[in-house]
Structure 1
Amino acid sequence: MEYTLRLRPYKREDGTYLLNWLTDRRMLGMWCRDHFAFPLSADQLDRYYRDLEKDSRSFGFTALNEKGIPVGSFRMSRVDYEKKSVHLGFIVIDQSLRGQGLGGQMVSLAVGYAKDFLGMERITLNVFDCNPGAKRCYEKVGFHEEQFKKEDFAFEEEKWGIYLMVYDK
């Protein structure tokens, strides 16, 4: 099934969807490092998004399918209007819909928003080396590796490296 996504600002009720998408410890770690405790709770999300709303340099977004149902989420942070740069993070797609190109479509919409509405020229994101599917997705959108940090994050017995990727077209 092909989807046409739309973006809108994150709303509190979108947390219900995030709770259903981020159901295991590893997936949560890939999404947020250690910013949230497992299991993810509505209270944690409410606190996080309340704080995000107070930060004039950060925005939460939800990707909707053609029926208006949330299928993905991300944030823009570290908005720097003088340097024309922004960072994408906390990128997630409904796990039951992965592999259908929705992640690329959502990130493309995020890039378009950052460039067309915010006037950004440099867009960055991070992706762990243990998540090659997400890295390929970002490369298809036009991101490229700028930096790699080996063993950047400890998850249980593993050490994950992290790529800083940049879109600067």
Structure 2
Amino acid sequence: MKRTLRLRPSKKEDGRYLVSWFDNEYMMRLWCRDRFTFPLTEEQIKEYYEGFEHDLLSWGFTAIDEEGTPVGSFSMLRADYEAERIHMGYIVVDPNLRGKGLGYEMVSLAVRYGVEILGMKKLTLKVFDNNPGAKRCYEKVGFTVESAEEKGFLFQNEMWKVYHMAYVAKNE
């Protein structure tokens, strides 16, 4: 049975799901770099979502399954309507559901929203080199690597390379 996702604006209550998806710091850092402290708390997520209420150019989204249960999350940040571009960040799927195409479906819906609803010609995101599954997912959606930072993020004693990826809408 094919799972069908829907996107909706994130709600503060979604924090309890996000918190449950990160049981170790390594996985949390793959998702957020140093944006949040470990362990992640519902209060941190609540404050993060509250920030969107004051930012007219950024939004949080939650992917929900057929029953309305959150199964993924991402943000669209720094909308630039003049340049017709927006940045995606904080992309995550419930780890218990990974490997089933949900990431692909969620990111595809996000791209569709960005292009068709927001009128963006370019969507960007970043991914670490030690997250090859996520990178493959983004490539499958149509993102390509534009550049890389060799010294992107230091976690413990590891330097994580950062790929800057972009999806460019095709002219119809």
> Normalising TM by the smaller chain, what interval?
over 0.9
Question: What corresponds to 1:96 in structure 2?
Answer: 96
Q: TM-score, normalised by structure 2?
A: 0.96
CA contact (8 A) 2:146 2:163 kept: yes
Q: Deviations over 1:91-118 (max 9, x none)?
A: 0000000000100100000000001110
Task: Tell me the secondary structure at the aligned position of residue 147 of structure 1.
Answer: strand
Q: CA deviation at 1:32?
A: 0.5
Question: What corresponds to 2:155 in structure 1?
Answer: 155
Question: What corresponds to 1:6 in structure 2?
Answer: 6
Q: CA deviation at 1:151?
A: 2.2
CA contact (8 A) 2:13 2:46 kept: no
The answer on 1:76 being equivalent to 2:76 is yes
CA distance in 2, matches of 1:58, 1:112: 16
CA distance in 1, matches of 2:83, 2:112: 17
Q: CA deviation at 1:22?
A: 1.5
Listed as ranges, the matches of 1:107-126 within 5 Å are: 107-126=107-126
The answer on 1:50 being equivalent to 2:53 is no
Q: CA deviation at 1:37?
A: 0.2
CA distance in 1, matches of 2:2, 2:19: 24
Task: Tell me the secondary structure at the aligned position of residue 165 of structure 1.
Answer: strand
Question: What corresponds to 1:23 in structure 2?
Answer: 23
CA distance in 2, matches of 1:46, 1:9: 13
CA distance in 1, matches of 2:69, 2:50: 22
Task: Tell me the secondary structure at the aligned position of residue 162 of structure 2.
Answer: strand
Q: TM-score, normalised by structure 1?
A: 0.98
**Identity of aligned pairs, percent?**
54
**Aligned AA for 1:18?**
L
CA distance in 1, matches of 2:66, 2:47: 29
Q: Deviations over 1:29-52 (max 9, x none)?
A: 011000000000111111111112
> Structure 1 stretches (4+) deviating beyond 4 angstroms?
none
Moved more, 51-60 or 30-39: 51-60
Q: CA deviation at 1:157?
A: 1.0
